[in-house]
Amino acid sequence: MEFKKVETAGESVAIVSSSEIVISDVQSALDLIATVHYETGCNRIVLDKSLITESFFDLKTRLAGEILQKFINYHVKIAIIGDFSIYTSKSLKDFIYESNNGKDIFFLPTKEQAIDKLGMLP
């Protein structure tokens, strides 16, 4: 796992890259939060959806809620990037819509949009 730290609008954002899944369960999400903070000092993370277990996107597993609650609890903002149009679940689409209208969790198509969004937040 590698981190690239970028500065935007006075905020530091960590972009995570890896050749394998980084978030597979709640503990791995907590590990990511801690590692990013230790390595970069950032509390804003950009993560490609390919680095998250596919069961995250099946809301019936409750994994998304449990994982994202950890980010909120630890005051870490996250933007998950990728193509979410491949998912047909109405509840997932609603979840993404609601998240994108919040202030902590975002599902965006590109890394550039994610960095801009995280940089604009208070």
Mean pLDDT along residues 24-43: 97
Query: How many structural domains does the chain have?
Result: 1
> Range of 93's domain?
2-120
Mean pLDDT along residues 9-18: 94
Structure tokens given for 58:
């099946």
Please give the pLDDT value at position 19: 96
Cα distance between the two ends of the chain: 28
Please give the mean pLDDT across all residues of the chain: 96
pLDDT tens-digit readout, 63-92: 999 999 999 999 999 999 999 999 999 999
Q: Label residue 50 left, alpha or beta by phi (over 0 means left) and psi (-120 to 50 means alpha).
A: alpha
For the chain, percent of residues with pLDDT exceeding 70 = 100
CATH number, residue 46? 3.30.750
Q: 89, 95 in Cβ contact below 8 A?
A: no
Sign of CA dihedral 43, 48, 51, 55: positive
